[in-house]
Structure 1
Amino acid sequence: MSSLSLAQHAVRLQTLLERHIAEVLKNHGLSRSELDVLGALACGDARPQELSSQLLLTTGGISNILRRLEADGHITREANTKDARSNIVRITPRGEAIARETGDAVTEVINRVLGPVDDSLIERAAEQLHEVLLALDEDAPVHRGATN
């Protein structure tokens, strides 16, 4: 029963936060997946397949996201000199700026929503969820150099 309770609490918290985050993303002209891709690319260039795997997105989904980000000038795609069948995706300065600005706004809204919660409780909960994700070997997508 505790695993069901964990899942229910995690989903409820995510839903609560998403209500507020969605508005921030809309105001910055990005989807959640687009911001995730820009965040991943801020850590370094990647192949679309790597982004798909890291961010748990389908290859078709990542292709659509990359097309939109490229059209908006947030990324570039170049031929992979080591593998002619793939591209290397790189974030542009414009993409870095919008990712930073949007990421800061998302952090601000999360802090506002969680404001009534004691910082030590948030820290303990984050550490425990981190341990759960590590045990599932699923922790990588949530840590892309962001600060807590």
Structure 2
Amino acid sequence: MKPDEIDAMVPRWREAGLSSSLIATLELGKRISRLNMLFEQAIKNDLAELGLTYAEFDVLAALLRAPSRRMRPSELAKSLFLTSGGISNVLQRLSTAGYVEREADEGDARSRWVRLTGEGRRMAAAALETTAGAYHDVSAGVPEEVVRQAADDLREVLTHLGRRRYR
């Protein structure tokens, strides 16, 4: 196995007296952050060419995969880890661009639904294709079985971490 930039930090962590379990956790976190940065950078660059931000893409993709093809803003915010103000800003931009429209919720006069327009569905499909290409480009050269094993191992880690509550 070829060493990476994270491996260069390990001797300093050992010298600082950190436990082997903490060092392993730090390595995991640093590598996850690095991978996320590589994927996110490639995706953001490709989305910018389409005139979308990452948050806008996230909303379009969430609406595209929603079973009824519509969601409440509060559902979008919760599923995408956005604040109510953040989702409001994103929805306003997408509405102005003609990608989403809001409609009244007949069951609750205080609530509204958000759904994709025809143009929004086309843009969501184009953005999904673009992001798939970015993921492919970033991971090019990594054997599929290595990617599959890493994805499975990270699922196991997340299963354990997902049970915790943080302040």
Mapping of residues 49-128 of structure 1, within 5 Å: 49-128=74-153
- Structure 1 unaligned segments of length 5 or more: list them: 138-148
1:47 aligned partner: 72
Q: 2-side partners of 1:15 and 1:59: how far apart? A: 25
Q: Which has the higher contact order (CA 8 A, sep 6+)?
A: 1
Give the number of equivalent residue pairs. Answer: 138
- Aligned residues with identical type, % of pairs: 38
Q: TM-score, normalised by structure 1?
A: 0.87
- Structure 2 unaligned segments of length 5 or more: list them: 1-21
1:141 aligned partner: none
Q: 1-side partners of 2:53 and 2:158: how far apart? A: 24
CA apart distance, 1:134: 3.7
* Pair member with larger Rg: 2
Kindly tell me: are residues 133 and 82 of structure 1, through their superposed partners in 2, closer, same or farther at Cα, counting changes over 3 Å? farther
User: In structure 2, what residue type is equivalent to 1:80?
Assistant: D
1:143 aligned partner: none
SS in 2 for 1:89: strand
Q: TM-score, normalised by structure 2?
A: 0.77
1:142 aligned partner: none
Segments of 4+ in structure 1 off by > 4 A? none
CA apart distance, 1:6: 1.6
Q: 2-side partners of 1:23 and 1:4: how far apart? A: 28
Q: 2-side partners of 1:86 and 1:51: how far apart? A: 13
